[in-house]
Amino acid sequence: MVAGLVTAFAAALCYGVGAVLQAVAARQTEAVQGLDPRLLARLVRSWRYVLGLVLDGIGFLLSLVAVQALPLFVVQSIVASFLAITAVLGAVFLHMRLTRGDRIALAVVVLGLVLVGASASDEEPVPADAARGWILLGATVALAVAAVPLARIRGARGAAALGAVAGLAFGATSIAVRLLPGDLTPSAIGSDPAAFLTSPATYALALAGVVALLTYSIALQRGSVTQATAPLVVGETVVPALVGVLVLGDATRAGWAGVAVVGFVLAVGGAVALARHGELEV
């Protein structure tokens, strides 16, 4: 359990630092007018930008590892705290102002994470269940289909709608990992590759990852980072947490259910309140 908590916090740290590194790189790169693809060619020359992308990838992998050791409500609430890390690092290195409300939100996130971590119990692995995997794959396909008309919505409404889809898709990746017929270590995959290739959870994981990245990218074009990120945080935390408790057998320590609920609400609510720091305006 301790290793899972450390891994989840490491994932949040990677996401938070990665966001700041990419923002610093953007500040040091010549500005462009409009949606100029040449900006990406300039950014990839920056070691800070590339390192930020690498940290995002590492954070994603770490979160998947943590999901195999802890209940989903614990991992998802911890990962959502990357916005708190971004806020602190943005204030230190990018001189972004932290308002009184921001400081209160940071304290709320920390308190929530303490409560969630204290209430966590060791996670019992869920036996591979093809039926659950097929249901998840079907739900992921439905998300992809729903994203098509939602991508035509402009402005803040489009950003919020696609941000929510992206959050649900990110949450689906965490659920899929729990339904895989083994862990994600190379030795486990190599020992029985057929089990992974025939599991619907494997394809749900791949499809959900693509849907999440694509819809979030489009959401950022429809509105502000805040408008896209706040519903994403809610979607990627609340739904997986409910699935974990109601379907996958996630549980808290005996007598700590109320503490877990309060901690989860505080952590996620505080993270949503800090969503504007995802802007990191440059």
Look over the chain and give the mean of its residue pLDDT values, rounded to a whole number. Answer: 80
Q: Is the pLDDT of residue 146 over 70?
A: yes
Report pLDDT for 23.
58
Residues 50 and 117: beta-carbon distance below 8 Å = no
Report pLDDT for 65.
84
Tokens (6 digits) for 82: 């990357």
Q: Is the pLDDT of residue 41 over 80?
A: no
Residues 253 and 119: beta-carbon distance below 8 Å = yes
Q: Is the pLDDT of residue 247 over 60?
A: yes
Q: Is the pLDDT of residue 169 over 90?
A: yes
Return the bridge partners of 197, or none. Answer: none
Tell me: the pLDDT tens digits for 11-22? 989 988 876 776
Task: Report the amino acid identity of residue 8.
Answer: A
% of the chain with per-residue pLDDT over 70:
80
Q: Is the pLDDT of residue 134 over 60?
A: yes
Q: What whole-number distance in Å separates Cα of residue 6 and Cα of residue 108?
A: 20
Q: Is 155 exposed, middle or buried (0-12, 13-18, 19+ CB in 10 A)?
A: exposed
60 compared with 165, residue with greater pLDDT: 165
Task: Concatenate the DSSP letters of all residues of the chain into one string.
Answer: -HHHHHHHHHHHHHHHHHHHHHHHHHHTS---SSS-THHHHHHTT-HHHHHHHHHHHHHHHHHHHHHTTS-HHHHHHHHHTHHHHHHHHHHHHS-----HHHHHHHHHHHHHHHHHHHHB-PPPPPPP-HHHHHHHHHHHHHHHHHHHHHTT--HHHHHHHHHHHHHHHHHHHHHHHHHSSS-SSHHHHHH-HHHHHT-HHHHHHHHHHHHHHHHHHHHHHHS-HHHHHHHHHHHHHHHHHHHHHHTS---BSTT-HHHHHHHHHHHHHHHHHTGGGG----
Q: What whole-number distance in Å separates Cα of residue 237 and Cα of residue 103?
A: 22
Tokens (6 digits) for 59: 């954070």
pTM of the model: 0.76
Report pLDDT for 282.
44
Tokens (6 digits) for 45: 């020359």
> What integer is the mean pLDDT of 180-209?
79
